Amino acid sequence: MSDSDKFEDDLLYALTRTGEGFHPEQADQAGLVAGGYQRGRRRWRRRSTAAVVGGAAALALVGTGAVYLTGGGSPAGTATATVAAATGAASGAAGASLTPASAGTPDAKAVTGPEVLAAFQALLPKGQVTDGKGTGTEPTGKPGGGVNAGASLLFDDGQGRAAMGISLTRLAPDDPNRAQNSCPDKKLVPYDACTATSLPGGGSLTVLQGYEYPDKHVSTKWWDAKLIGQDGRQIELSEWNSPAEKGAPDSRPTPPLSPEQLKAIVTDKSWDPVIAAIPEPKPVKLPDAGKEYSAKEILELTAKLLPSGLTETETGGDGDGYANFVLDDGKGKSLVELNVQDWSRDDAKTKEQLFGNARTLADGTKVAIRKEGGNPGMWTVDTLHPDGLRVVISSFNSGTQKTPPTRKAPVLTDDQMQTIAAAPVWKLKK
């Protein structure tokens, strides 16, 4: 894990309280700020499927890339093969020879790692496959086993070797990841193209053409297709224009599969028996985070608190206490993010980590100000209201999280951000 990935994971704990073993005292104080919360939450959403289905993930997709994890089922080892021609949906021919079945069929036969790998290879265009590995659904019914499947390989169509990986799992009806299949906010995650489609009969499909590193300090491209079906299936396929996700030079200008081919593979019926062999997922029990402010509510309240002459533009956010917008005073754009969270039930130790050295206003609100340099830089005012509501505002000296500074400092000053975050209009929802 890179330092930046660790920072985001540590930051995620402090701001969402999902925990996963991280303790605030292990983190750099500067990391416990809100500006990266959205980045962290997006990463968590991508990897949460692996957390839900168990620790032994064949392929856990993380952040803007993927990390291969072996385990759970019988590993297929490595394989070298030549795909003579595209099969399955990628070419219109029949898919891999696996017996179809309905999702979650109780008596469905377990699918082995080699079978998953073979099904994946059968859907690829003509080319050379090396270093193939697969994880199947056996043994079903055992803790940590059979709850997901996947395959990874290197593919070369004559234009250069490229890493690929596919993961398959099932989401419970109440799993919030079912609703997390849309194109990311381009202010937060730069990409070249993205399409999000609602499928006939229910379900969704997103195809993203992005980069392994959002700041593009390395040019490796990461293309990804994610299908979430009405039956709860989640099939995600990632590819790179490099023989490795990270740490290898680019081998070709773009990944080998087109967006249309990515879509065809994840929607192919060849995956039906694999999905059917995955046990019914258990209900998801998320921690009670209290009643959240919607993005609309945050934007409406904040608009009234902005200095005269400034207007929210390029607004974004979701229903989980997060919103963002861009301000422009004529001297360059400035991204602003707000997080509004119920911290009334958080432990005193965590609050001390964040607000132990904070100033206390007359009404009891604690205020901590932090500034991070970088490309771009981020200024943050973090407040904890007496009723336990935490309101955090972060401003960047750029119009996005990932593009170079357009100005020396954000549009909003520290005092102006404090006026917004510490305003008495923010009340804990009961």
Question: Residue 287's pLDDT is what?
Answer: 61
The CA distance from 226 to 203, in Å, is 11
Fold of the CATH domain 288-421: Protein Transport Mog1p; Chain A (3.40.1000)
The CA distance from 252 to 374, in Å, is 30
Q: Letter for the amino acid at 72?
A: G
List of the chain residues with pLDDT < 50: 1-101, 140-145
What phi-psi label fits residue 92: left (phi over 0), alpha (psi between -120 and 50 degrees) or beta? left
| Kind and range of the H or E run holding 372 | strand 366-372
| Contact by Cβ (8 Å): 236, 184 | no
Nearest Cα to Cα of residue 203 among 275, 259, 290, 148 = 275
Radius of gyration of the chain (CA): 23
Domain coordinates of the chain in residue numbers? Answer: 53-276, 288-421
Residues 6+ apart with CB under 8 A from 351: 343, 384
Structure token digits, residue 194:
């993205």
Full strand arrangement of the beta sheet holding 127-135: 81-83, 127-135, 148-156, 161-170, 233-240, 221-229, 203-211, 193-198
Question: Residue 50's pLDDT is what?
Answer: 29
Nearest Cα to Cα of residue 123 among 161, 157, 92 = 92
Nearest Cα to Cα of residue 3 among 38, 33, 21, 28 = 28
Question: Residue 29's pLDDT is what?
Answer: 30
* Strand pairing report for 313-318 and 322-328: antiparallel
How many other CB atoms sit within 10 Å of the CB of residue 385? 23
Report the residue count for the chain. 430
* Exposure on the CB side of residue 46, measured as CA atoms within 13 A: 26
Is residue 6 helix, strand or coil? helix
| Contact by Cβ (8 Å): 61, 163 | no
pTM of the model: 0.65
The label of the residue with tokens 């005073």 reads: 329
Question: Residue 292's pLDDT is what?
Answer: 87
What DSSP character marks residue 87? -
